[in-house]
Structure 1
Amino acid sequence: MTSSNVPHNDDHIHPRRIWIVGVSGAGKTTLARKVAHQLEVAHLELDAVFWKEHWTFRDLDEAHASIRAFQAAHSHGWVMDGNWTSRLNGMLTPGTPGGADVVVWLDHPRLLTMWRVITRTLKRGITQEPLWHGNTERIRGWLSTDPNHNIVLFAWRQHSALRARWEHQARSSPHVVRLRGRAHVSRWLRTLTPPSMHGHDHRREDT
Structure 2
Amino acid sequence: MKIHIIGCSGTGKTFFAKKLSEKYNIPHYDLDDIYWDNSSQEYGIKTSVEKRDKLLQKILEKNNWIIEGIYYKWLEQSFKNANIIYILDLPKYIYKFRIIKRFIKRKLKLETGKKETLKSLLDLLRWTDKFKNENMKEIIKIIERYKEKVYFIKNKNDLQKILQ
TM-score (norm 2): 0.85
1:18 paired to 2:3: yes
Q: 1:90 maps to what in 2?
A: 76
Name stretches of at least 5 consecutive residues in structure 1 with no aligned partner. 1-15, 144-149, 191-207
Q: 1:179 maps to what in 2?
A: 153
Deviations 1:2-48 (A, max 9, x none): xxxxxxxxxxxxxx100100111100011000001101101110001
TM-score (norm 1): 0.69
The 5 A counterparts of 1:78-157 are 78-86=65-73, 88-94=74-80, 99-127=81-109, 129-131=111-113, 135-142=114-121, 150-157=123-130
C-alpha deviation, 1:118, in angstroms: 1.5
SS at match of 1:105: strand
C-alpha deviation, 1:171, in angstroms: 5.3
Deviations 1:166-194 (A, max 9, x none): 4445655212111110001111222xxxx
Q: 1:163 maps to what in 2?
A: 136
What letter matches 1:151 in structure 2? L
Answer whether contact 1:106 1:179 (CA < 8 A) is retained.
yes
Deviations 1:85-104 (A, max 9, x none): 13x2512122xxxx211210
C-alpha deviation, 1:138, in angstroms: 2.3
Q: 1:65 maps to what in 2?
A: 54
* Percent identical: 19
C-alpha deviation, 1:124, in angstroms: 2.0
Name stretches of at least 5 consecutive residues in structure 2 with no aligned partner. none
Provide the C-alpha distance between the structure 2 equivalents of 1:68 and 1:166, rounded to a whole number of angstroms: 21
Q: 1:41 maps to what in 2?
A: 26
Once superposed, what is the RMSD of the aligned Cα atoms?
Answer: 2.1
